[in-house]
């Protein structure tokens, strides 16, 4: 166990969930952007009346998003509370966690902002405690943060954030995460400066799907996984098609259809909505193509007068990183 009051630094990467056709089951981590966090164990003392002077979890925001600091309402706090419930190695009536969070991944951006905070918190806490839990345990704990954010325990952002690379969530209950080969591809992301809340993006989805659409979607998911396993980039590109979720969610994102056409014309293999949006991602074989795709993104959103941020990055192979 790391000594009391010794700070560690945590780097929690953004993630692209769904990978177009793999709703709630596929995702990958990227090297930029990422959240920065600091964390330490603290002693909990009591006053003369026996009341604790420190909470079991103290959250300090060092950004300007004014997110809740009540652990039950904060994604990192909820994840840590789930961990504390299962941890028998430490007496949490005497020891607690203090967490500083600098969110460089804007909340509501569609690139795993809530997952980064949730995953970063439990990976950091596990390190402080001497790593008693497995990565899949940490995914389970961090999913409680996703429930705070969206009302649903999903792992398509959490799993790659913790494991790194590309992951497949075969099952939630019981949890089964499968690491897939990560392609050597470049990722271009644009984040239009609007917010699409995950809960809202879920609420507009159809509850019933036509069989012909399901069959096409299953084929695309299988093709995408096969493309990753074989390193077949053209198969990956052909499989990046969503006939169920994207047609509905894309109405929330200005310029989506025109942008998709422009990015593919610029040479991208394919792409689509990142998570629930509004961010959009595209994969490219070459960095030059990824940069050309970025220019198409900038051109379109400048043209419609919508503020935006872009990133040209690569797939993060390590997940959350700890620095002492």
| pLDDT-derived band at 281, boundaries 50, 70, 90 | very high
Give the other-Cβ count within 10 Å of 85's Cβ: 11
CA distance 320 to 160: 9
Cβ burial of 197 (10 Å; 0-12, 13-18, 19+) is middle
| pLDDT-derived band at 237, boundaries 50, 70, 90 | very high
Cα 303 to chain center, whole Å? 29
Per annotation, catalytic residue among 146, 246, 294, 296: 146
- Taking a C-beta distance cutoff of 8 angstroms, is the pair 89, 253 a contact? no
Q: Read off the pLDDT of residues 169-208 as tens digits, 9 standing for 90 and up.
A: 999 999 999 999 999 999 999 999 998 877 777 888 888 9
Cα torsion at 290, 296, 302, 304 (round to 10°)? -130
Cα 274 to chain center, whole Å? 10
Residues 253 and 234 in one domain: yes
Cα 130 to chain center, whole Å? 25
Residues 175 and 196 in one domain: no
Residue 295 lies in a domain: yes
Residues 135 and 224 in one domain: no
- Whether the predicted model's global pTM rises above the 0.75 cut: yes
Q: Is 146 a catalytic residue?
A: yes
Residue 203 lies in a domain: yes
3-state secondary structure at position 178? strand
Residues 195 and 86 in one domain: no
Q: Is 310 a catalytic residue?
A: no
Indicate the helix (H) or strand (E) that contains 95: strand 95-102
At residue 53, the pLDDT reads: 60
Residues 202 and 78 in one domain: no
Residues 57 and 129 in one domain: yes
3-state secondary structure at position 271? strand
Reduced 3-state DSSP string for 107-140 = CCCCCCHHHHHHHHHHHHHHHHCCCCCCHHHHHH
Q: Read off the pLDDT of residues 34-88 as tens digits, 9 standing for 90 and up.
A: 999 999 999 987 665 666 666 799 999 999 999 999 999 999 999 999 999 999 9
Q: What percent of the chain has pLDDT over 90?
A: 86
Q: How many domains does the chain have?
A: 2
Domain that residue 71 falls in: 8-181+316-323
How is residue 36 annotated by DSSP?
E
C-alpha triplet 277, 188, 241: angle, nearest 5° = 60
Residue 74 lies in a domain: yes
In Å, what is the CA distance from 87 to each residue of 10, 137, 141, 244, 282?
A: 21, 11, 11, 40, 40
Residues 150 and 250 in one domain: no
Residues 26 and 94 in one domain: yes
Residues 138 and 287 in one domain: no
The radius of gyration of the chain's CA atoms, rounded to the nearest angstrom, is 20
**What's the CATH number where 77 sits?**
3.30.230.10
Q: Which residue has the tokens 């009302």?
A: 151
Residue 21 lies in a domain: yes
CA distance 156 to 198: 13
Residues 168 and 193 in one domain: no
Assigned token pair, 223: 């093709």
At residue 46, the pLDDT reads: 66
Per annotation, catalytic residue among 188, 198, 289, 313: 198
Residue 98 lies in a domain: yes
* Residue 25 clears pLDDT 70, i.e. is over it: yes
- Taking a C-beta distance cutoff of 8 angstroms, is the pair 116, 31 a contact? no
Assigned token pair, 19: 């990978």
**What's the CATH number where 224 sits?**
3.30.70.890
Residue 3 lies in a domain: no
The mean per-residue pLDDT over the stretch 223-239 comes to: 97
The mean per-residue pLDDT over the stretch 27-35 comes to: 97
At residue 70, the pLDDT reads: 95
Residues 128 and 231 in one domain: no
Question: Nearest-CA neighbor of 279 among 186, 201, 184, 168?
Answer: 201
3-state secondary structure at position 235? helix
Residue 1 lies in a domain: no
CA distance 124 to 5: 14
Mean pLDDT, the chain, as a whole number? 94
Between 324 and 178, name the one with better pLDDT: 178
Between 53 and 23, name the one with better pLDDT: 23
Residue 2 lies in a domain: no
The mean per-residue pLDDT over the stretch 132-138 comes to: 97
Residues 50 and 150 in one domain: yes
């Amino acid at each position: 166990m790391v000594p009391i009051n010794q700070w560690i630094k945590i780097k929690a990467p953004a993630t692209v969930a769904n990978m177009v056709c793999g709703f709630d089951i596929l995702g990958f981590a990227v090297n930029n952007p990422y959240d920065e966090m600091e964390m330490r164990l603290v002693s909990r003392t009591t006053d003369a009346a026996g009341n604790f002077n420190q909470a079991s979890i103290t959250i300090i925001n060092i950004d300007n998003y004014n997110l809740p600091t009540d652990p039950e309402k904060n994604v990192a706090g909820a994840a840590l509370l789930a961990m504390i419930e299962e941890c028998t190695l430490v007496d949490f009536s005497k020891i607690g966690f203090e967490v500083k969070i600098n969110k460089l991944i804007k909340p509501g951006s569609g690139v795993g902002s809530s997952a980064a905070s949730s995953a970063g918190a439990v990976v950091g806490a596990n390190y402080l405690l001497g790593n008693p839990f497995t990565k899949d345990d940490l995914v389970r704990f961090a999913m409680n943060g996703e429930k705070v954010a969206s009302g649903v325990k999903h792992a398509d952002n959490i799993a790659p954030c913790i494991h790194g690379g590309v992951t497949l969530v075969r099952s939630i209950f019981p949890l089964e995460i499968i690491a897939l080969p990560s392609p050597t591809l470049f990722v271009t992301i644009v984040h239009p400066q609007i917010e699409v809340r995950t809960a809202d993006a879920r609420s507009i989805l159809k509850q019933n799907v036509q069989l012909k659409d399901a069959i096409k979607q299953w084929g695309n998911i299988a093709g995408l996984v096969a493309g990753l396993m074989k390193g077949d980039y053209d198969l990956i590109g052909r499989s990046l098609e969503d006939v169920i979720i994207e047609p509905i969610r894309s109405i929330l994102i200005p310029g989506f259809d025109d942008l998709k056409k422009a990015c593919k014309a610029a040479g991208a293999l394919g792409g689509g909505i990142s998570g629930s949006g509004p961010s959009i991602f595209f994969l490219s074989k070459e960095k030059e193509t990824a940069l050309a795709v970025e220019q198409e993104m900038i051109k379109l959103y400048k043209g419609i007068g919508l503020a935006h941020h872009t990133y040209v990055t690569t797939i993060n192979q390590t997940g959350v990183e700890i620095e002492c």
